[in-house]
Amino acid sequence: MATFKKCVDQRISKKKSPIPRLTAITIINLLGDCYGELEHARRLDPAEELVFTILSQHTSDTNSGRAFRRLMSEFGSLEEVAKGDVSRITRAVSVGGLARIKAPRIKQVLNLILNEQGNLDLTFLAEMPLEEAKSWLMKLPGIGPKSAAVTLCFSLGMPAMAVDTHVHRVSKRLGLIGPKVNADRAHNILESMVDADDVYPFHTALITHGRRTCKAIKPRCGECPLAYGCPSYYLFAETEK
C-alpha cells in the first residue's frame, strides 16, 4: 500500500504537468510488483482450449469452467463430443449460458477440424507464423481474434495478445489504445507494443489489474500503481471520496 500511495501522491503533485507516458514494459513491471510474478501457465491442449473459449463467450470464468468440466465428464473426450447429439451437448454445457448457441457451434467446429485434419491435434499451429495460425483458427465459425489469441497463447505459448473486456477497458483508460478502438482492433495494436516474450505477461498484467483494481464501475484509483501516468485518473478519483 505504501507503493500505491507514493504513486498516487506523485500523480497528484503533477496535476498541472504533462502526464508521463506509461510504456508496456513499465506496466508489466509495476503490476508484476503489485500482483506477483506474471508467469505463463499452460492450461489445456489446443482443441480443448478452443472449446473452452467458445464456452467462455458472454459468461463468467466460473460458469465457463463448470460447463467445460461437465462437458468432458459427460463425453470423456472431444472426439466423443464431435460425435455426440447436440441436445446432449446442450444439456452438458447449460450451466455456462447460451447453451443452444454454443453446443451446435462446438460440434460444428470439432467436426470441421476432424474433416480437414483427420484428428483434433492442433499442435501444428505452433509451427506456423503467428498471423497464419490466427487466420487458420479464425476461419472456424464463432472464432474471432480473442478466441484465436487465447488458444495460441495459453495452450501453445505463442505471442498472441488476447483482449477481453478487462484488457480492453484498462488499455483505453491508460491511453494505450484510442477511445474508439474496439476489442478486435486492439489485439494487434497491443501485441505490437512488446517483444514476443512479453506478450503473455502484458496480457496477464492488464487482465489482473482490470479484475482487482481498475474495475468497470468503481475503479480503485487510490490503490493504483499506475495512477501517476494514467490519463483517466481524474475522471474517476473523485468517485472514491
**What would the mean pLDDT of 189-202 be, rounded to a whole number?**
95
Q: Of the given ranges (22-31, 53-62, 88-97, 109-118), which has the lowest mean pLDDT?
A: 53-62
Whole-structure pTM value: 0.86
Please determine whether the domains at 2-39+163-240 and 46-156 fall in the same fold group of CATH.
Answer: no
- Domain regions of the chain by residue span: 2-39+163-240, 46-156
Domain 46-156, CATH number (from 1.10.340.30, 3.40.640.10, 1.10.760.10, 1.10.1740.10): 1.10.340.30
For position 39, what pLDDT does the model report? 62
- What are all long-range contacts of 184-189, with beta carbons under 8 Å and residues at least 24 apart? 184/144, 184/145, 184/146, 187/145, 187/146, 187/149, 187/160, 187/161, 187/162, 187/163, 188/161
Domain boundaries 2-39+163-240, CATH class: mainly alpha
Q: How far apart are CA 213 and CA 203, in angstroms?
A: 15
pLDDT digits (tens, 9 = 90+) for 70-108: 999 999 999 999 999 999 999 999 999 999 999 999 999
Confidence class for position 1, pLDDT limits 50, 70, 90? very low
CA-to-CA separations, 41 to 30, 56, 200, in angstroms, rounded: 20, 18, 10
